[in-house]
Structure 1
Amino acid sequence: MQDKTILYSRISIIALSITIITIIYGLDTYSMEKSSGLFGGLFNSTPNSSLFQIVLYLISAIILLLTGFYPRKLYLEQFSSIPKILNNKLIYYKTNILEMMDNKYKILEYGLIILFTITGASFLLSSNDLVSIFLSIELQSYGLYLICTIYRNSESATSGGLTYFLLGGLSSCFILLGQSLLYSNTSVTCLDGYYLISSMYEISYNTTNNFFSLENSNYLNISLLIISVGFLFKVSAAPFHFWSPDVYDAIPTLVTTFVAIIAKISILILLLELVHYISNDFFSLNFTWTNGLLVSSLLSLIIGSVLGLTQFRIKRLLAYSTISHIGFILLSLSMNTLESIQAFLFYLLQYSFTNLNAFIIVLIIGYSLYGFENTKYNYLKDMENSPIQLVSQLKGYFYHNPFISLSLAITIFSFVGVPPLIGFFAKQMILSSALDNGYYFLTIIAILTSVIGAVYYLSIIKQIYFDEFKYTLTDTYQDINLRATILENHRTNISKDTKESPEKINFSLKNIVISNCLTISISILTLIILVVILNPEILLRTTNLISLLIFNC
């Protein structure tokens, strides 16, 4: 069964790679200057949606690498040259040491559910109608509910998935209620119609002609506010964040990596289009629906930073870190200027890749500690699904694997916003845009919460680099002598009558190393975080181009 699971994951990776190449090939100069409607206006393909579809597929392909290849491999220097690899075959039957029998390799539906969820997220990025928005967000959500409970033998995963399902259903009710109010008041479902209504509000406001009554304008504003509440539930923004730390901590780390990133990208891009095209400055209420995003931004910055100080479980800490990052994203989203949209796109891209790198490194640390024990942590549950659960389990890890520790340090410093990493430039762009638009109070709060958040980030660095490594090899693997068989490829079968016996080799636990697909993934993601130091204009020009296209549409 595990062979089929790996095969399906690899097929999914190939399908996503082909899709990415197809989208890039279609993004020529002509298509970048306009958008195209699909299925009678239900969907609208724009440069913005195409860019983030590429990001969505790329992140999903990297996550599928975690189940498309085994986490550890046997490395023997004398058999690692290209001729030796091509001409010889390794036979090793103790697959438990290579972690080839884990639950993640026994679930055939994993790759299919991920593709199912990505389909919903991709549709949501291009949605241009209330009907297609709701159907797309539910298609995405159903896949997320399923993948959270896919480890049926894990009690905590089942509990977390059920919590996610119930509160996700509640947020969908808010979205459906707001859309119903919009339709009952305007008899329009297409977003182009609401863009037109918003423009007519502007004409009515600037002239003596009253196209719309005061009651209708308030009605539209309140409906959009209700819809935004449902979306804030989905992206775990404060004060609707309470479910995310519990769910992130309960479900397996492999699933948390997917849920923490994919579920947010599509919704935030949809919110960007709603904020930009449905103008709210001409509504008669003093408190407009985008002011609700500002309030949520303020609460997310405070709650994500302050409550993160009390966390000792690694995924709960990353959950509150995500809430704090959502605060920055919502701050840039609510300003709706050319600079703020560029800052929003830049921050969302760096958040996605940095967060992905952090979760993969946490997984790799757990894989690399196979065969080691620390009696202090024997009480932990679901060690197989989430091997690293406590921040204190990272103590002294630098002395075990300095390269992975360095990559994690770079990622954490980017979270903090230490220059000249990509996280610093993202926060600097948002704070600069906020100052230009007169949001002085929120800018001060964002700076203070960044300093507070740096405390729990730097405490992780302190434990990794300055504490003692207290893990020891278990008695089972202490001075163990492992054996494997090397066969030449032309000898596929071992005959009893053959006088020439296959070559036997001995090795130790030190020859079991992290698989290439994982090390290459974190290397590339770490380089993306560092690329701003070398050539920051690549990403800056891309986000600037997309923001200019949005404003010129």
Structure 2
Amino acid sequence: MITLSILCLLFSNAVTLRRDMSILFNRIAIIALIYCFLHEIVSLSLINKGIGLHGGLLHVTNITQIFHIFVFLVCILILQLTSFFPRKVWVKEHSSLKDLFFNNFIFYRTKIINKMGEHLKIIEYPKQLIFVVSGAIFLMSTNDLVSIFLSIELQSYGLYLLSTIYRNSELATTGGLIYFLLGGLSSCFILLGSALLYANSGTTNLDGLYIITSISDNINYCGVWYKPHYINFSLLIFSIGFLFKVSAAPFHFWSPEVYDAIPTIVTTFVAIIAKISIFILLLEIVYFTSNSFSDFNWTFGLLMSSLLSLIIGTVVGLTQFRVKRLLAYSTISHVGFILLALSITSIESIQAFVFYLMQYSISNLNAFIILVAIGFSYYFYVTDNKEHKELLDKNNSPVQLISQLRGYFYVNPILALSLAITIFSFVGVPPLVGFFAKQMVLSAALDSGYVFLSLVAILTSVVGAVYYLNIIKEIFFYKPEYKINSLLKDRKLLGYIYNNNDILIKNLYFKYNNIVMSSPISITISSITLIILLFIFMNKEWLNMGTILVQILFNN
């Protein structure tokens, strides 16, 4: 279905002349992803312990299926940002069900609903996004060194193109080029690790590699050709390439630059999808090889990366004044927690890993969607701040500085509260979902004897709260610098109400405060915020799913 939708979008993009048709292509992509989502849910009950496809190149298990479903869901939510116009007119007198179904409200739409916004003119966007999704889906299910490399490159090339898809943006082109060059470097590490693994084990199939590593302590008499530590070293090099891709320290230096340079709508996708697929691949590799080497284990490299990510993501984040750079360092810090849970490989830690990855992806998605919504909500506001007026690439990333959020609570209280709840979840304030995720990781680390790393994680969480709370301070404790545009303040805008037979019923006047966020964005933000806020009342299903997945993995 994914391949078919890519081909359809490819052909339709080639023959269309109108670039503003992008909104329809995005909706087609959503329909294709909904089909894939439903297909995975139906097939979830058919597969028990896993099934090998294409001669062992792919391996579908319940864990990969659950994360396929999760990736499809996240992508559908991200595509909503470009599948509907960001603003609408809401008039109380024309809001009954009867009026909505039997009458049409027509008004001057181009400026109000942002019909000519650049994100609605890029017809290639949904096609590239589905390319990345297909790479992510293959990567999660892959079971061979060859298919790993093909999948990671399919995913990465799509992300490079997405980063530079705003062809008129100099900043986005710069960010995409940095991403491409350093992504190519990380692919070299993956390729080198794969070559060393093949040279030592004689197989590209991961099942064969797992068998060799599980009996490596007993076959030291085999002769000169086989050395267990050679595979250990190869896996360490192999993992460095993936740590580059997920921006874990000390290989993190590209992500703040790229996140900040590319448009916010694209950052939303780049920051989330690439990490989910790579972590699920690493989960299987770590689980099957972590207990195979008696003295030095390659997963020690993941622990060191976890420690550095926690420290660097927190300390360097304290100096940031740009929103997306701060969110990049926040991501590096949270990657530290995910790597800590991944490296321990106990039942409790893998459960914490699955839960943390899911909740952080959802919280991060909410933060970026709110940032995009805040940018759209500044439509009828003006500012005298010279720094805000002279921002580069302002059309594609309206909110770039933390100071732009100053006093936003007085502009839109509900959106400001949603952002505050998401930020408090990042901090780990109970009873929000982020608190339970951090508590599960720390509990698993302490149970396994990682006391020092647990102390570092706790301290960095406390220090990291400083830069999160700085955003809260800006939003709630200052008066806004933005003023309503004097041209719109007292102006009455004219709309027309027609019935289904296109007969004019009446003229309707509305003011600037009748222009609100469109329903898809509002519903998405409110739903995710309620999940974050009310997790304590609906935690059973989510935690039970994690427990079942881990039991299936360990019983295999």
- TM interval, short-chain normalised: over 0.9
1:280, distance to aligned residue in structure 2 (A): 4.6
Number of the residue aligned with 1:194 = 209
Distance 1:491 1:70 in 2: 23
Task: Indicate conservation of the 8 Å contact 2:303/2:340, yes or no.
Answer: yes
Corresponding residue number in structure 1 for 2:524: 521
- Give the aligned partner of residue 80 of structure 1: 95
Q: Could you list the per-position Cα deviations for residues 193-229 of structure 1 after superposition, in whole angstroms to 9, with x for gaps in the alignment?
A: 011101211444xxxx734669611211111010100
Name which of 152, 157, 171 aligns with 1:156.
171
1:5 alignment partner AA:
S
2:339 counterpart (321, 330, 337):
330
1:326 is displaced (CA, Å) by: 0.2
Residue 52 (str. 1) matches residue 67 (str. 2):
yes
State the match for 1:43 in structure 2: 58
Q: 1:18 to 1:480 in 2, by over 3 A?
A: same
Question: Scaled by the length of structure 2, what TM-score is found?
Answer: 0.94
What do residues 499-533 of structure 1 show as CA deviations (whole Å, max 9, x unaligned)? xx663221111110000000100111112212322
Q: Does 1:506 align with 2:509?
A: yes
Aligned partner of 1:547 among 531, 547, 550: 550
Structure 2 counterpart of 1:10: 27
- Match for residue 280 of structure 2? 269
Percent identity between matched residues is 57
Q: Paired residue for 1:486, among 470, 493, 497?
A: 497
Q: CA offset at residue 459 of structure 1?
A: 1.1
1:394-413 alignment, distance < 5 Å: 394-413=405-424
Aligned to 1:365: 374
In structure 1, the gaps of 5 or more residues are: 493-500
Give the corresponding residue for 2:12: none
Contact 1:35 1:46 in 2 (8 A): yes
Q: Which amino acid aligns with 1:44?
A: H
- The CA deviation at 1:401 is 1.2
Q: Deviations over 1:17-56 (max 9, x none)?
A: 111111111112x52x310011111000000100100110
The secondary structure found in structure 1 opposite 2:497 is strand
Q: CA RMSD in A?
A: 1.5
CA distance in 2, matches of 1:386, 1:549: 43
C-alpha spacing 1:292/1:194, structure 2 compared with 1 (3 Å): same
Shift of 1:162: 0.6
Identify if the C-alpha distance between structure 1 residues 548 and 488 changes in structure 2 by more than 3 Å, giving closer, same or farther. Answer: same
Number of residue pairs matched by the alignment: 537
Q: Secondary structure at the match of 1:188?
A: coil
Please tell me whether the aligned partners of residues 175 and 227 of structure 1 are also in contact (alpha carbons under 8 angstroms). Answer: yes
Cα displacement (A) at 1:545? 0.7
Residue 2 of structure 1 deviates from its aligned partner by 5.6
Is contact 1:201-1:212 (8 Å) kept?
A: no
Query: What CA distance in whole angstroms lies between the structure 1 residues aligned with 2:222 and 2:449?
Result: 32
Write the distance in 1 (CA, Å) between the matches of 2:224 and 2:478: 66
Residues 276 and 213 (structure 1), Cα distance of their counterparts in 2 relative to 1, 3 Å cut = farther
**Residue 11 of structure 2 corresponds to which residue in structure 1?**
none
Corresponding residue for residue 306 of structure 1: 315
Whole-angstrom CA distance in 2 between matches of 1:34 and 1:228: 26
Letter in 2 for 1:550: L
Asked if 1:257 is matched to 2:272, the reply is: no
Aligned partners of 2:427 and 2:399: how far apart in 1? 22
Whole-angstrom distance in 1 between the partners of 2:79 and 2:539: 28
What is the CA distance between 1:97 and its match in structure 2? 2.1
- Quick one: which amino acid aligns to residue 491 of structure 1? D
In the alignment, residue 21 of structure 1 is paired with which amino acid?
Answer: L
Q: What does 1:133-532 align with in structure 2 at a 5 Å threshold? A: 133-204=148-219, 210-211=221-222, 216-283=227-294, 286-376=295-385, 377-491=388-502, 503-532=506-535
Q: 1:532 to 1:212 in 2, by over 3 A?
A: farther
Give the C-alpha shift of residue 378 in structure 1.
Answer: 0.7
**Contact 2:216-2:292 at 8 Å conserved across structures:** no
CA–CA distance in 2 between the matches of 1:367 and 1:110? 20
* SS of aligned partner of 1:157: helix
- Report Cα offsets for 1:443-483 as digits up to 9, x if no partner: 11000000000001111111111111221022332322211
Contact 1:198/1:279 (8 A) holds in 2: no
Inter-partner Cα distance in structure 1 for 2:532 and 2:29: 26
Could you say which residue in structure 2 is the equivalent of 1:21? 38
Aligned to 1:210, the other structure's residue is in SS state helix
Runs of 4 or more above 4 Å deviation: 211-215
Distance 1:411 1:94 in 2: 32
| Cα deviation digits, residues 360-381 of structure 1 (max 9, x gap) | 0111111111111112111112
Q: Is the 8 A contact 2:249 2:305 kept in 1?
A: yes
Q: Distance in 2 between matches of 1:483 and 1:296?
A: 59
Asked whether 1:65 is paired with 2:68, we answer no
